[in-house]
Amino acid sequence: MNTSLKQMVRDRGLAIVLLVTMLAPLFVYAQWPFGTPTTPDAQRNALAAVRSQVNWLQNATRTASGYGGGGYGNVQQQFESLRGAYIGLTHTLNELQLARGGNDFAELEAGLSIIQEAFTNYQEAVGAGQPESTAIREMCQIVREASQVWLRELNSRCSKHRVGM
């Protein structure tokens, strides 16, 4: 490489570094600077999303047996969406709510893990030779009833800790 070409590459590299350095503060400030919002509005929206997801899960458990093997996947997908919505709700809680209600919210998370065991039980039942239609009906009944109890607990604990208020 001749010296003029080396100089041109070095100058271009310096210009790029300078440009990135000058624009870096713009990239940083373009992000939400305060983390996840913990406002009452954000909490109400997140709580509404969890409640809606429970309704979707309930609907999936009512219709799953009509979809055969696809019904299991649909119920499982709706359950995972419920778990994700709940995690989103917990990210909107403020420090006081987390300090006073940490155990309550951890118990709700544990409740979701208990409900999730129904999926493992379904897989074991089918693996042991139980007809898929029977196994899906039993799983859906368990998930439906457990999610109703879980939603009552969620509503009670969110009220207790003034979530969305």
Model pLDDT for residues 112-131, shown as the tens digit of each residue: 999 999 999 999 999 999 99
- pTM of the model as a whole: 0.75
Using CA atoms, how far apart are residues 7 and 22, in angstroms rounded to an integer?
Answer: 22
Q: Which CATH class is domain 36-160?
A: mainly alpha
**DSSP one-letter code for 65:** G
The reported pLDDT for the residue numbered 20 is 44
pLDDT higher than threshold 80 for residue 8: no
Inform me whether the pLDDT recorded for 148 exceeds 70.
yes
Under a CB-based contact definition with an 8 Å cutoff, are residues 76 and 58 in contact?
no
Confidence of residue 31 (pLDDT cuts 50, 70, 90): very low
pLDDT at 30: 42
Buried b (16+ CB within 10 A) or exposed e, 13-51: eeeeeeeeeeeeeeeeeeeeeeeeebeeebbeebbebbb
- What confidence tier does 60 reach under pLDDT thresholds 50, 70, 90? very high
Q: How far is CA 51 from CA 21, 103, 157, in A?
A: 46, 21, 14
Q: Is the Cβ–Cβ distance between 59 and 79 less than 8 Å?
A: no
Query: pLDDT confidence of 19, banded at 50, 70, 90?
Result: very low
For residue 115, how far is the Cα from the chain centroid? 15
37 pLDDT higher than 70:
yes
Residue 3 has pLDDT above 90, yes or no: no
Distance CA 76, CA 53 (A): 12
CA distance 154 to 156: 5
pLDDT of residue 91: 92
Spatial distance between the Cα atoms of 82 and 89, rounded to a whole number of angstroms: 10
Average confidence score pLDDT of the chain: 82
Q: Are 105 and 90 in contact (CB under 8 A)?
A: yes
Q: pLDDT tens-digit profile of 68-95?
A: 667 888 999 999 999 999 999 999 988 8
Considering only residues 26 and 152, tell me which one the structure prediction assigns the higher pLDDT.
Answer: 152
CA distance 138 to 120: 12
Domain ranges of the chain: 1-31, 36-160
Closest CA to 141 of 115, 109, 112, 111: 115
